[in-house]
């Protein structure tokens, strides 16, 4: 799988953090840990572009572990979708399948809750995972994330650019982690300093 310049720069980042070790041991240790956690995701098998994969969900979970206030333990993941849209329903079902029985990644156990987009405001969840195909209704997920102060993550990068979701993950044709600064600030999402070197903010 071709990786983005973010992940191609990992060896250089490791060297930089190593050089900082004497003056900033905690930062260096964090850098080494995040490198060891993310690199296995990059090496995973490729899938067809546009298809949600277990690798996408794993990268998402590991990314959430590097928030300043990381999620941990059993996490209720609200999979937000548009029931009337075939693509959205299919994507949501795929995401649910990957998380069935509690997908354990790092210190997180992801437990899926299917949430029709019209019901997202009342959903009792710890995290929103926006499925594809929600369209303009995705603004409801953005509003819910802001009101509940919980992160929203998606594979639909257009929704991240629109500010309806704070975090976007792509793994095809290359791996990238994108963060909408404004959407992240509105929902109280912030990442640890060293991890910011591995994400693309806009």
Q: Which residue ranges form the domains of the chain, and what is each CATH number?
A: 54-191 (3.40.50.2300)
Q: Could you read off the pLDDT of 49-65 as tens digits, one per residue?
A: 456 888 889 889 888 88
CA dihedral 83, 85, 91, 93 (to 10 degrees): 30
pTM above 0.85, yes or no: no
Q: Is 199 exposed, middle or buried (0-12, 13-18, 19+ CB in 10 A)?
A: middle
CB 31, CB 198: distance < 8 Å: no
Radius of gyration of the chain (CA): 16
pLDDT (tens digit, 9 = 90+) per residue, 93-128?
999 999 988 888 878 899 999 999 999 999 999 999
Report the SS3 class of residue 195. Answer: helix
152 burial type by CB count under 10 A (0-12 exposed, 13-18 middle, 19+ buried) = buried
């Amino acid at each position: 799988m071709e990786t983005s310049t973010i992940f191609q720069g990992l060896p250089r980042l490791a060297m930089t953090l190593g050089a900082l070790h004497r003056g900033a041991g905690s930062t260096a240790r964090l850098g080494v840990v995040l490198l060891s956690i993310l690199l296995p995701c990059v090496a995973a098998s490729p899938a067809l572009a546009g298809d949600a994969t277990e690798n996408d969900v794993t990268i998402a979970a590991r990314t959430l572990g590097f928030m300043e206030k990381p999620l941990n333990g059993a996490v209720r993941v609200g999979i937000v979708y548009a029931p009337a849209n075939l693509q959205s329903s299919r994507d949501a079902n795929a995401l649910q399948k990957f998380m069935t029985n509690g997908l354990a990644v790092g210190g997180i156990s992801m437990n899926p809750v299917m949430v029709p987009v019209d019901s997202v405001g009342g959903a009792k969840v710890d995290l929103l995972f926006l499925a594809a195909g929600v369209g303009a209704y995705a603004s409801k997920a953005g509003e819910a994330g802001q009101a509940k102060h919980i992160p929203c993550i998606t594979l639909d990068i257009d929704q991240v650019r629109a500010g309806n979701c704070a975090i976007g993950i792509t793994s095809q044709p290359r791996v990238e982690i994108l963060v909408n600064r404004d959407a992240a600030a509105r929902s109280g999402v912030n990442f640890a300093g060293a991890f910011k070197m591995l994400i693309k903010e806009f």
